[in-house]
Amino acid sequence: MSNGRSIGLIAGSLVALVAVAIVIVMLADRRQPQEFAVGSPEATVQTYLKAWDAGDLETAYSSFSEAARQRITFDDYVATSKLWRESRGGDVRETVYIDRSTIDGSRATIYLVVETTYGSGLEVNTYRDQREISLELEDGAWRIADALVFLDLARDYMVYEEG
């Protein structure tokens, strides 16, 4: 193959790839978030995350197990959530994927992949991280075993009054 033809083939392939990528990204944006069976551990985590994102802390708090709620009152949870949001800073976006889950009797573990994006434009940075959430079966419903602020443990951010 001649020099000009091989360069032309490469250029043509890349232009075609650009067109295909644009179409795929446009179509992918129309996709709805993944839905899970009602009552499954995954659905509990999704409900919690949606509530957290919407600022509905009551629903988020109700996703925790009885033992977890005894360790932190709702008022403390609200204060801790506020502190967490303040410490997080702006211009951070997270996308959460469920990697896999395991169920062992009345305990379940959900393994998440969290894609965090900072900044914008040419300053944008993305990194991927893995988290796991433990759940317990309570009265036939799956509850998150530890109180969380987003995906972090709430106790790591709790404010303790002096004295």
Question: Min. distance of Cβ 159 from another protein in angstroms?
Answer: 26
Comparing CB distances to another protein, the nearer of 55 and 66 is: 55
Report the C-alpha gap between 144 and 63 in whole angstroms. Answer: 6
Comparing CB distances to another protein, the nearer of 47 and 65 is: 47
Report the C-alpha gap between 80 and 117 in whole angstroms. Answer: 23
Distances (CA, A) of 63 to 147, 150, 160, 161: 9, 12, 23, 26
Comparing CB distances to another protein, the nearer of 5 and 159 is: 5
Which residues make up the interface to another protein (CB under 8 A)? 3-4, 6-7, 10-11, 14, 17-18, 20-22, 24-25, 27-29, 31, 33-34, 36, 42, 45-46, 49-50, 53, 93-100, 109, 111, 113, 115, 117, 120-122, 124, 126, 128-130, 132
What is residue 156's DSSP assignment? G
Report the C-alpha gap between 20 and 17 in whole angstroms. Answer: 5
